[in-house]
Amino acid sequence: MSTLTETRSFALESLDWDHLHFYVGNAKQAAHFYTTAFGFTPFAYAGPETGVRDRASYALEQGEIRIVLTSPLGPHGPIADWVRLHGDGIADVALRVDDARGALEAVRAGGATVLGEAHEERDEHGTVTYAAVASYGDTQHTFVQRNGYRGVFLPHFVPLTVTVSTPHPVGLLHVDHVVGNVGWGEMDTWVDYYKKAFGFGQLISFDDKDISTEYTALKSKVVSDARHRVKFPINEPAEGRKKSQIEEFLDFFHGPGVQHVAIATNDIIATVRALRANGVQLLDAPPSYYDALSERVGGINESVEVLRELGILVDRDDLGYMLQIFTKPLQDRPTLFFELIQRKGSLSFGKGNFKALFVAIEEEQAKRGTL
C-alpha cells in the first residue's frame, strides 16, 4: 500500500504545462493580435458551430506553447462575470498529467480547493479527462489527461480552416514560468498551498530589500515541481513610498491573478527584433543600465550595444546567465504582460534586473498617474 506522499509524488510526477486559457472580451480580435504581434498560429476553434452555445474559443500555438482565447457570447455566466471584473487575462493555467483523477485526489489530500471533480469528455477522436482546482483569486488549474486523444486540440474543437491572419513566428519555444500577484501578506499562504497540495519545492525568494526602488517594493518566492518544468513565482506588494506595481495590478485586476508569463526563446535577439517589427511594445531599460552591465554580469556572448538597442536585460547566477525583456501590458488594464527569456545556464528569474526593471515600470506607472 502506498503512502499519501508516494501517491502525491506519483500522480503529480508527470505534471507539465498543457495550455494557458485566457478569458477576453473579444476572442476573434485577440486571436488576430496574438497571431500578428506574437507569431502564434491559430489551429482550432470551438463555438456555436461546433456545439458550444455560450462561448467562442480559439486555440493558438507556437513551439510547445498553446494558448486558448475564450469570449462569452452573452452577458451572463462565469466567463462574462470573470471578464467584467478582471478584464482580459489568464483564468486557467491548465496542467497536463497522466492521471487527472490521481492528481486531483493528491492535491485534495494536500488541502487544495477542488472546483471540478474528475470527469471525461469524449468525441470521435478519443477521451480527455479533466479535473479543476483553485489557485489565487479567480485563477484555476485544470488537470488535463489526454489519454492519447487524437483530435486537433480538445473535444468540441475543430481544425481552424479559415486563417485568422498570417502568423509570423518569432521563435517562442515553451513556457518558462507563470507569475501570480497576490494580496498583502498572502504570498506565504500560496507558497504553502503549492508546497502542501502539489508537493512543490521552493526554489528561491526575494524580499523587499532585494526588490525595491525609491517608490515601490515587492516580495517574491518561487515554487516548482521536482523536475523544474512548472515554475510559479508568487509576488506580494511590500511597503514603499508610493504605490507598488503589485498594488496597481491588484487594483486594476480586482484581486490576485496571473501577472506575467515568461516564454523561452533560444535566440532572444532575433525574437525581440521580430516582436518590435510586429509592433509589440516592450519595456525600455534606462540607458544607464547598460553602462554598468559588463561590470555587473561579466563576459557574455552578446554585444552590449545590440542589447542596448533592443532593451534586453541580463542577469547572472552561479550557473550561468540569462537574457530577458518584458512587454508592456497586453491589454488596456495594466495587468497581464509577457516576458521573453533566454537561459544560458542560469536558473535565475532576473533578481539583479528587478530594480532596473522597476525603474522602467514606474516610469510607465507615472504616465498613468497611478504611482
Beta bridge mates, 217: 212
Of 66, 77, 63, give the one whose Cα is nearest residue 31: 66
- Minimum CB–partner distance for residue 311 and Fe ion (Å): 16
- 113-172 residues in contact with Fe ion (CB under 5 A) are none
What gap in Å lies between CA 168 and CA 150, rounded to an integer?
27
Stretch (H or E) spanning 108? helix 100-109
Closest to Fe ion by CB, 129 vs 135, is: 135
CB of 139 to Fe ion, least distance (A): 16
Closest CB to Fe ion among 135 and 327? 327
Of 271-300, binders to Fe ion (CB under 5 A) are none
- In the complex, the smallest distance separating the C-beta of residue 256 from Fe ion, rounded to whole angstroms, is 17
Taking the complex as a whole, the smallest distance from the CB of residue 233 to Fe ion amounts, in Å, to 6
- For residue 105, give the 3-state DSSP assignment: helix
- What distance in Å separates the CA atoms of residue 246 and residue 213, rounded to the nearest whole number? 13
**Burial environment of residue 123 by CB neighbours within 10 A (0 to 12, 13 to 18, 19 or more):** middle
- DSSP structure string for 266-316: S-HHHHHHHHHHTT--BPPPPTHHHHTHHHHH---SS-HHHHHHHT-EEEE
Nearer to Fe ion, 70 or 245 (CB): 245
Q: What is the C-alpha to C-alpha distance for residues 287 and 100, in angstroms, rounded to an integer? A: 49
| Smallest separation (angstroms) from Fe ion to the CB of 141 | 19
Q: Which is nearer to Fe ion, 18 or 339 (CB)?
A: 339
State yes or no: residue 356 binds Fe ion (CB under 5 A).
no
Smaller CB distance to Fe ion: residue 66 or 231? 231
Q: Among residues 266 and 303, whose Cβ is nearest to Fe ion?
A: 266
User: Of 320-339, which residues contact Fe ion (CB under 5 A)?
Assistant: 339
For the bound state, the minimum distance from the C-beta of residue 179 to Fe ion, rounded and expressed in Å, comes to 5
Query: Considering only residues 103, 170, 187, 262, which one is a binding residue for Fe ion as defined by CB under 5 A?
Result: 262
Q: Quick one: 45 or 190, whose CB is closer to Fe ion? A: 190
Residue 349 CB, nearest distance to Fe ion (Å)? 5
Instruction: Give the residue at shortest CB distance from Fe ion.
Output: 262
Measured CA to CA, the distance from residue 152 to residue 16 in angstroms comes to 19
**Kind and range of the H or E run holding 33:** helix 27-36
Smallest gap, in angstroms, from Cβ of residue 354 to Fe ion?
10
Q: Which three cell numbers stand for residue 115?
A: 472546483
Size of the site for Fe ion (CB under 5 A): 2
Q: Going residue by residue from 194 to 233, which x/- string records binding to Fe ion, judged by CB under 5 A?
A: ----------------------------------------
Nearest to 131 by CA among 178, 60, 44, 197: 197
CA atoms of 179 and 218, how far apart (whole Å): 13
Q: How far is the CB of 5 from Fe ion (least distance, A)?
A: 30
Is the Cβ of residue 155 or residue 256 nearer to Fe ion in the bound state? 256
Kindly indicate which of the ranges 11-19, 38-46, 221-229, 256-264 contains the residues binding Fe ion, using the contact rule CB under 5 A: 256-264
Q: Report which of 147, 172, 152, 142 is spatially closest to residue 34, judged by C-alpha positions.
A: 172
Nearer to Fe ion, 83 or 262 (CB): 262
* Binding region for Fe ion (CB under 5 A): 262, 339
